[in-house]
Amino acid sequence: MLFNGALLVDKNSGPTTAYITRKISRLLGIKAGHAGTLDPLATGLAIVLLGKTTKLQRYFTAFKKSYTGTARLGIETDSGDSQGKIVEEYSVEIEPESIYDFVGSLTGKQMQIPPIFSALRYRGKRAYKLARNGQKVELQPREIEIFAFEIDNIRLPYLDFKLEVSSGTYVRSIIQTLGQQLGCGAHVCSLRRETIGSIDVKSALSFEETRDYYNSGRINEIIRKPIELMSDMPILDLDKNRGIDISHGKHIHLSEMNFNCGQKFAFAMDNRLLAIARWVDSKDKEYVYERVLIGPGEV
87 close to 78: Cβ distance less than 8 angstroms: yes
Q: Which residues contact 205 (CB under 8 A, 6 or more apart)?
A: 7, 8, 9, 10, 213, 222
Instruction: Count Cβ atoms within 10 A of the Cβ of residue 67 and give its class: 0-12 exposed, 13-18 middle, 19 or more buried.
Output: buried
152 counts as catalytic: no
**Calpha distance 289→248 (Å, rounded):** 12
Which of 10, 39, 101, 237 is the catalytic position? 39
Query: What backbone phi and psi angles, to 5 degrees, belong to 219?
Result: -60, -35
* Best CA proximity match to 33, nearest among 12, 61, 52: 52
Handedness of CA 10, 221, 47, 152 (dihedral sign): negative
Handedness of CA 204, 205, 207, 210 (dihedral sign): negative
293 close to 246: Cβ distance less than 8 angstroms: no
Q: Give the β-pairing of 5-11 and 272-281.
A: unpaired
Cα diameter, the chain: 69
20 close to 63: Cβ distance less than 8 angstroms: no
Any bridge partners for residue 76, and if so which? 88
* Best CA proximity match to 228, nearest among 25, 10, 27, 35: 35
Catalytic residue positions?
39
